[in-house]
Structure 1
Amino acid sequence: MENTQKNKKKIAILGSGMSALTAAYELSSYKDWQDHYDITIYQMGWRLGGKTATGRGPNERIQEHGIHIAQGWYENAFRLIQDSYKECEKHNLMPDSPFKSWEDAFDREDTTLLTHFDPNTNQWIKKNIIFPSNEYIPGQGGPLPFSAIVHKAIGLVAEILFGIDPNKDSLMNMATESAKEIKPPEHHPLWTNFKSKFETFIKDKVFKHEGEKLLKYVAELIHNLTNGDHDHAKRKAHHSIIKELLDLLSKWVAKLIDSITEHNEYFYWLAVFVEFGLVNMKGTFADVYNPETHELDYEQINDLDYRAWLKKHGASERLLSSAMVRFLYTGTFHNLTGSDGQGSLAAGVGLHFLTNSAGYKGSFVWKFKAGTADTMITPIYLVLKNRGVNFKFFHKVEQVHYSDSGAIEKVSMAEQVTLKNGNYTPTYKLKGLDVWPGEPLYDQIDDQQAIALKDGQYDLEEAWCGWKNVGQISLEKGKDFDYVILGIPIDVLGGDEGICKEIIDNNQAWNNMYNHVKSIPTMSMQLWIKPTLKELGMNLPDWGFPEGSLPNLVTYADPQYSFIDMSQVLPYEDWKENKPGVLIYYTGSFLDPEIIPPFSDHNYPHEQLERIMRVSEQWLRDKMGWFFKNATTLEYPEGMRLDVIYDFSKAAKTDYGRLKTQFFRANVNPTDRYTLSLPDTNKYRLKANESGFDNLILTGDWIDFGVNVGYYEGAIVSGLQAGQVLRDILGLPSETEIFSGVQFK
């Protein structure tokens, strides 16, 4: 035992976002882990979660950094959540929680709304999508194989093409006519096996059962590529016939689309859906599938923008401007990037994200029943604390110092406040939940400092806040740490005040990464509205949704183009008899000013907050009338009147005064910005084990973790990678399988 203690290593984790918490969770998930190392998490401010942190405001309202949901393909996230709830139950860590299991903590939602602005009619048009639920459970069994995803997609296309619709007869006639011009690939050696199926298809049964059989046959060919009984030559042959057939189908669909899209909205959406599926599939088998290795290599197309890649494979301008394509740009906050400001997204990243999302389990969207942190961070925190992981709140990293020794020798930190008892308890109880405050729990802080913080309205999470730290701390290698896991966002690392400025100045790989991996600020708005959706004029059955559904939308008008009904969290706020009728979260991206001021300009974040509040006010007056027709006025016939919003102050004199009582965030802080995946930048990202220092491991959505999209599933993947890199350095085994996305085989 004495020898074990002597050789025991100290691990310092800097930051507490999802990647850092996951790294700590992975490192502490092994039997007898404390025989090998201690773990301490250093976090500025008063709460955990990074961009998934939650706070509480008036009426215990939940205040988020933005919209956070779980999608049914978040395999690593769901596994982590399920495991943390199971361990909390085992050790009775949440005895009063209304969420006894992970299933209790989520609502499933299968409805999504797409919107598209039609320049011909100068109007918005909509398409409701109800994603079929399935029997799979996210977080269990790993991602669905590519062949299963193809079968799901084929089923969806078949439903669109062959389902019951009043336009079907005219569509069949046009499809049969356009099929006459199809020229079969008679030169292909596999064609003789397919000829009879194809000849039946192009007859008048094109949109009857034979058409469905054709789609299923293509799915079978794709499935055969993963068949272990087939040798390399057979798989290559299958790959080439698939390419031929997809090219064939694409030409037919192009002719068909040209003849139908102007008829009505149904035909427009039909054309977009079918072309979108075919072009992506065609491009995948041309550029991403490697016939030599029989793997999907998305990196092959990351030098291109996603729209440019689609265009390369024959996408029409109709598709390129559609909601289906815009969905990927707005859903990943890439819509304002690029030289033309119309969006720029690495094609491989976009396609990988799209393919993974098609493999959803259970439901497409899973909503947290309470705040993101209340639901997801709380059980993780309680498990880590119970396991013996140490937490140091109010510790702000100032510099991870460069050393030419090949290891990090020193980390400088600021102690932001003095705690009365030396430790900090970050949560409090509300309706049985351990919830996170929107401000520090001042009664645990030195009285004079607490008064100064409150009087000056200092935000200790804000880079521009101007608070004078109470002390300096120096962590030294061999004394305070042996290994460092860096889990702090990339925008904090560089620049004149960057915490890794010394490393970036002395290491070309770090310099390249910092200067090429970019980010963008995001905005969020949460509105507590007194009337219900129906009273506002949005009758869900009229929009094609089941009564009681809470649809989400990510393709509406800039800048607050994404919004979602989050009314399911209202019971976990504190409304008594004054409960609002609906709660809606909005989010979008916005551009930085030409010059971002230094941290000495304490007004900057407040100016940006005021900026997005003013923009959002005008946006509501201009855009929300389409949804809330009962809230329009003669003055603003396209928008909503703001007196339907709940007045938290109970004394607002103006509409804008009422709006200001809602919750807004301008995510301009370096810790809050969204990490982008721009074309030709993936190659500059460093992996978890590529810091260039023997004892420094990297984690976060800014490293090269696989899919490289800024979402918490990806942050969790990077955290797992960091934990396993460190265990490997220590010569310890790792058992947790990391699911990096759909695998072809």
Structure 2
Amino acid sequence: MQNSENKKKIAILGSGMSSLTAAYELSSYKNWQDHYDITIYQMGWRLGGKTATGRGPNERIQEHGIHIAQGWYENAFRLIQDSYKECEQHNLMPDSPFKSWEEAFDREDTTLLTHFDPKTNQWIKKNIIFPSNEYIPGQGGPLPFSAIIHKAIGLVAEILFGTDPNKDNLVNMASESAKEIKPPEHHPLWANFKAKFEAFVKDKLFKHEGEKLLNYVSELVQNLTSGDHDHAQRKEHHSMIKELLGLLSKWVTKLIDSIADHNEYFYWLAVFVEFGLVNMKGTFEDVYDPETHELDYERINDLDYREWLKNHGASERLLSSAMVRFLYTGTFHNLTGSNHQGSLAAGVGLHFLTNSAGYKGSFVWKFKAGTADTMITPIYLVLKNRGVKFKFFHKVEQVHYSNSGEIEKISMAEQVTLKNGTYTPTYKFKNLDVWPGEPLYDQIEDRQAKALKEGKYDLEEAWCGWENVGKISLEKGKDFDDVILGIPIDVLGGDEGICKEIIDNNEAWKNMYNHVKSIPTMSMQLWIKPTLKELGMNLPDWGFPEGSLPNLVTYADPQYSFIDMSQVMPYEDWKDDEPGVLIYYTGSFLDPEVIPPYSDHRYPHEQLERIMRVSEQWLKDKMGWFFPNATTLEYPEGMKLDVIHDFSKNAKTDYSRLKTQFFRANVNPTDRYTLSLPGSNKYRLKANESGFDNLILTGDWINFGVNVGYYEGAIVAGLQAGQAIRDKLELPSETEIFSGVKLK
């Protein structure tokens, strides 16, 4: 065992999911404290970064935006499961209503797609029910690519060959279009497949032979990943898959062109089938590497996803569809690009899509309480119990450049004076350890606490204007040996950036800062008095089973994402006045032409007012389609705002009532969404590529693999950072990092 003088000191800057995961990984090894100490430095009063949660009036849960877990978040679920298990072992949450991770989530298998039809000038909808399965997310690693393809082919087969009242008409059209198919007789594998293909083309087309054809493609994929096949055999299988998918695509193009405009059912059928086949076709032509037999998404990351689809024959109908828009709105890329119509790196989009298809259990898993209450609390309690130290109210001002090859000095500001020198960030509510929406002032020196409250200063805000109480200088060898930088990229550069010196002196950092961009997002939470049924949204009419909680990501801008989060209301404080439904909305918006310096303290409040005004009009213009019983003669397409719960009890106008709800304009550099624009991936640095021997990078802005902004990716980056430190100290790492679906 090393003495305290020889132990390495690790300083982690920031406490988002990436930083917390790095600390978790570093402290997950037996006797880790023999080798190093860990201290997390955090601005403000809470942990979690963009997943932080606060409490407001009626103990309402206030989020940064919509957060759910998807069934393919392997690393996130493993971390959550492990933290709940350790909390149970050490009795860290003795009275919590969530005794296990399963009790902390609700499962949801339905997702709604919406599409604006310019021909009818109306919105149309399609509900997708993702079949649940027996897999448990976080256990066993990602599903293999062959299983993903098999699931996708099963979905296409169900759409094409399943029972439907429109089937007879479809069969006749498909039989005509099948006459155009020309077999690939030149191919060496053709002899093995000839009988199946001929049966498919004949009048048995919809007597399950078509499904056999699709399943044959699945068999070829299985063979492609088989260890029993050599390089030449795999190349042959890849070649045959390409030809078959090209053949199917040509046939499907003819088929859907003849049916898509018949009615709403045929439109959605056409979109789903074309979407599946074009993505599969493009994957095997561009992403699968026949020499290495691996999936290399980077090969198409200089292209926009829509551009890549178009290269593989996608129709304009598909390119404008909700299926494609889902990827842009779901990743906040819908307003990017020169024409603000969306720009997303094709490899990133496809990788994200492929991973999504590998969901386990259910497609969506919803937190039972706030994101932080459910996910951050157990992680924090475990880290604290393990001996990780937390320094709240410590704001990084500069990670100083040094030409020594190491970081030598970090300048920090101490935001407030704590009465006891330490800060306890949570409090008990309904036996949950929850996070406040403001600092717990009773732990702050009285005069400072009074000034903070009276001035309504937000210590997490870049434009805050609060005068910090002190300066701190961290020095290498004394306060730290190694540093993990887990602060978002927008904080790093610019005139007031915390890594401005490094960016000015390092070309790789300069390229990364200039090419890895972000966008502000908005969120709105509405506590509505009537139930969905009373509002006129009868779930069976929308294709939802009774008891479902609707969600969608493709409605009208700007608040295009909508999710029913009523399951969290039992963990708020309503007594006998509980609303009928709680809905979260989110979307992206564009920056003003000039973002003012931090000395302009009005800016974030002006932006908040801006999105509240826009949201008011949007509700009055757009929500009537969902809530027909809440429309008015003045706004027949929208929603009257007197159905919203009035937290003030005395609101006189629609807008004053709306202002009592919870809004966020995520313009702070710490809160913005990191984008994956075409051509930007190559400028991202990996965790161990900072150029400084003792500086490790982490966050959704580094090159962690999938490179799209979501907390599963941040967790991957955190694991990579933790293991980079372990490697540097010549210590083993055992935690497997799941970076997404692999071919085999």
State the TM-score bracket (shorter-chain normalisation): over 0.9
Tell me what 1:294 maps to: 293
Q: TM-score, normalised by structure 1?
A: 1.00
Tell me what 2:450 maps to: 451
Question: Which amino acid is 2:353 matched to?
Answer: L
1:546-604, Cα deviation, whole Å (9 max, x unpaired): 00000210000000000100000000000000000000000000000000000000000
Cα distance in 2 for residues equivalent to 1:35 and 1:161? 61
Deviation of residue 158 (structure 1)?
1.4
| 1:5 match: secondary structure | coil
Tell me what 1:167 maps to: 166
Question: Which amino acid is 2:391 matched to?
Answer: K
Tell me what 2:143 maps to: 144
Question: Which amino acid is 1:664 matched to?
Answer: F
Deviation of residue 461 (structure 1)?
0.1
**1:51-90 alignment, distance < 5 Å:** 51-90=50-89
**1:590-609 alignment, distance < 5 Å:** 590-609=589-608
| 2:691 match: secondary structure | coil
Tell me what 2:412 maps to: 413
Tell me what 1:713 maps to: 712
**1:665-676 alignment, distance < 5 Å:** 665-676=664-675
Deviation of residue 133 (structure 1)?
0.1
1:131-174, Cα deviation, whole Å (9 max, x unpaired): 00000000000000000111111111111111111100100000
Find out whether 1:547 has 2:566 as its counterpart.
Answer: no
Tell me what 1:490 maps to: 489
Deviation of residue 6 (structure 1)?
3.2
| 1:143 match: secondary structure | coil
Deviation of residue 5 (structure 1)?
2.9
Tell me what 2:252 maps to: 253
Tell me what 1:229 maps to: 228
**1:104-253 alignment, distance < 5 Å:** 104-253=103-252
Percent sequence identity over matched residues?
Answer: 90
Question: Which amino acid is 1:46 matched to?
Answer: W
Question: Which amino acid is 1:618 matched to?
Answer: Q
Deviation of residue 208 (structure 1)?
2.0
Find out whether 1:282 has 2:281 as its counterpart.
Answer: yes
Cα distance in 2 for residues equivalent to 1:702 and 1:65? 18
Cα distance in 2 for residues equivalent to 1:481 and 1:207? 68
Cα distance in 1 for residues equivalent to 2:272 and 2:293? 27
Cα distance in 1 for residues equivalent to 2:204 and 2:48? 56
Tell me what 2:478 maps to: 479
Cα distance in 1 for residues equivalent to 2:395 and 2:470? 11
Question: Which amino acid is 2:358 matched to?
Answer: G
Cα distance in 2 for residues equivalent to 1:528 and 1:152? 38
**1:647-662 alignment, distance < 5 Å:** 647-662=646-661
**1:36-47 alignment, distance < 5 Å:** 36-47=35-46
What is the RMSD of the two structures over their aligned residues, measured on CA atoms? Answer: 0.5
Find out whether 1:355 has 2:354 as its counterpart.
Answer: yes
Tell me what 1:510 maps to: 509
Tell me what 1:331 maps to: 330
Tell me what 1:527 maps to: 526
Cα distance in 1 for residues equivalent to 2:225 and 2:188? 20
Cα distance in 1 for residues equivalent to 2:157 and 2:361? 21
| 2:665 match: secondary structure | strand
Tell me what 2:394 maps to: 395
Cα distance in 2 for residues equivalent to 1:58 and 1:733? 48
Deviation of residue 191 (structure 1)?
0.9
Question: Which amino acid is 2:261 matched to?
Answer: E
Question: Which amino acid is 2:262 matched to?
Answer: H
Cα distance in 2 for residues equivalent to 1:223 and 1:124? 40
Cα distance in 2 for residues equivalent to 1:204 and 1:263? 23
Cα distance in 2 for residues equivalent to 1:262 and 1:600? 56
Question: Which amino acid is 1:539 matched to?
Answer: N
1:65-122, Cα deviation, whole Å (9 max, x unpaired): 0000000000000000000000000000000100000000000000000000000000
**1:671-686 alignment, distance < 5 Å:** 671-686=670-685
Tell me what 1:664 maps to: 663
Cα distance in 2 for residues equivalent to 1:127 and 1:55? 34
Tell me what 1:732 maps to: 731
Deviation of residue 440 (structure 1)?
0.1
1:403-455, Cα deviation, whole Å (9 max, x unpaired): 00000000000000000000000000000000000000000000000000000
| 2:496 match: secondary structure | coil
Cα distance in 2 for residues equivalent to 1:320 and 1:460? 43
Cα distance in 2 for residues equivalent to 1:129 and 1:431? 35
Tell me what 1:386 maps to: 385
Cα distance in 2 for residues equivalent to 1:208 and 1:353? 34
Cα distance in 2 for residues equivalent to 1:503 and 1:206? 64
Question: Which amino acid is 2:243 matched to?
Answer: E
Deviation of residue 654 (structure 1)?
0.2
1:9-65, Cα deviation, whole Å (9 max, x unpaired): 000000000000000000000000000000000000000000000000000000000
Cα distance in 1 for residues equivalent to 2:594 and 2:313? 40
Question: Which amino acid is 1:424 matched to?
Answer: Y
Question: Which amino acid is 1:588 matched to?
Answer: G
1:713-745, Cα deviation, whole Å (9 max, x unpaired): 000000000000000000000000000000001
| 1:453 match: secondary structure | helix
Deviates more, 1:191-200 or 1:65-74: 191-200
Q: Structure 2, unaligned stretches of length 5 or more?
A: none
Deviation of residue 327 (structure 1)?
0.1
Deviation of residue 518 (structure 1)?
0.1
| Number of corresponding residues | 744
Question: Which amino acid is 1:679 matched to?
Answer: P
Question: Which amino acid is 2:129 matched to?
Answer: I
Deviation of residue 374 (structure 1)?
0.1
Cα distance in 1 for residues equivalent to 2:678 and 2:564? 33
Deviation of residue 204 (structure 1)?
1.4
Deviation of residue 4 (structure 1)?
3.7
Cα distance in 1 for residues equivalent to 2:620 and 2:738? 44
Question: Which amino acid is 1:730 matched to?
Answer: L
Cα distance in 1 for residues equivalent to 2:541 and 2:553? 20
Deviation of residue 206 (structure 1)?
1.2
Cα distance in 2 for residues equivalent to 1:504 and 1:240? 46
Tell me what 1:625 maps to: 624
Cα distance in 1 for residues equivalent to 2:392 and 2:37? 17
Deviation of residue 186 (structure 1)?
1.0
Tell me what 1:266 maps to: 265
| 1:479 match: secondary structure | coil
Question: Which amino acid is 2:55 matched to?
Answer: R
Tell me what 2:561 maps to: 562
Cα distance in 1 for residues equivalent to 2:177 and 2:564? 42
Find out whether 1:440 has 2:439 as its counterpart.
Answer: yes
Question: Which amino acid is 2:383 matched to?
Answer: L
Tell me what 2:15 maps to: 16
Question: Which amino acid is 2:667 matched to?
Answer: V
| 2:205 match: secondary structure | coil
| 1:439 match: secondary structure | coil
Q: Structure 1, unaligned stretches of length 5 or more?
A: none
Question: Which amino acid is 1:508 matched to?
Answer: E
Cα distance in 1 for residues equivalent to 2:86 and 2:296? 37
Cα distance in 1 for residues equivalent to 2:230 and 2:256? 38
Cα distance in 1 for residues equivalent to 2:149 and 2:456? 54
Deviation of residue 192 (structure 1)?
1.3
Cα distance in 1 for residues equivalent to 2:38 and 2:127? 48
Cα distance in 2 for residues equivalent to 1:348 and 1:227? 25
Deviation of residue 624 (structure 1)?
0.3
Question: Which amino acid is 1:333 matched to?
Answer: F
1:331-368, Cα deviation, whole Å (9 max, x unpaired): 00000000111000000000000000000000000000
Cα distance in 1 for residues equivalent to 2:241 and 2:26? 44
Question: Which amino acid is 2:367 matched to?
Answer: F
1:210-243, Cα deviation, whole Å (9 max, x unpaired): 1111111110001110000011110000000000
Cα distance in 2 for residues equivalent to 1:564 and 1:204? 45
| 1:414 match: secondary structure | strand
